[in-house]
Copies of this chain bind each other. A is one copy, B any other.
């Protein structure tokens, strides 16, 4: 495939700042974080505060890069759950360690966004921020796999 590929190098647009220094699987709902966006992009955030929720794309930099990624994992690392394809889970061990969170935007102060529920540790590079628009981003009549827990 390589001959067709454009250059796909990400630039950090900012970083997460919070009290969580180590990855954790659960308990993110009430974590308040700041997303400190690069000063040069402050103007590009204008109007984001008109939305109650935003989506944050981030790079899970704590995940060890591995040439040999296991194709199947136990969801949430729980051995009692079946081994399933990594793309059928939210495991951070994926070919591109991109995380995507939908979070409440509490406030914007210039280049700093205060959000609730972002499941990313302190220092995580942020690569994109998008407004959450239910008509595009939510789905009705959904079915989820039986192994999904905590939801």
Nearest Cβ in chain B — how far from A30, in angstroms? 15
Residues of B within 8 A of A57 (CB): 57, 96, 98, 100
A48 at the interface (CB under 8 A from B): yes
Judge whether A31 is part of the interface by a CB distance below 8 angstroms.
no
B52 near A125 with CB under 8 A, answer no
Q: How many copies does the complex hold?
A: 2
Contact A41 B71 (CB under 8 A): yes
Contacts of A134 in B (CB 8 A): 138-139, 142, 144, 151
A12 CA to B86 CA, complexed, in Å = 16
Interface residues on A, range: 35 or more
Q: How far is the CB of A18 from chain B (nearest CB, A)?
A: 16
| Complex contact B9–A131 (CB within 8 A) | no
Interface residues of A (CB under 8 A from B): 1, 4-6, 8-13, 15, 38, 41, 43-48, 50-53, 55, 57, 59, 61, 69, 71-72, 82, 84-90, 94-96, 98, 100-102, 104, 123, 125, 127-139, 141-148, 150-151
* Beyond A11-B95, A53-B139, A57-B96, 11 extra complex contacts between A and B, CB < 8 Å: A1-B12, A8-B59, A10-B96, A44-B69, A45-B87, A47-B147, A48-B87, A50-B146, A96-B128, A133-B148, A137-B137
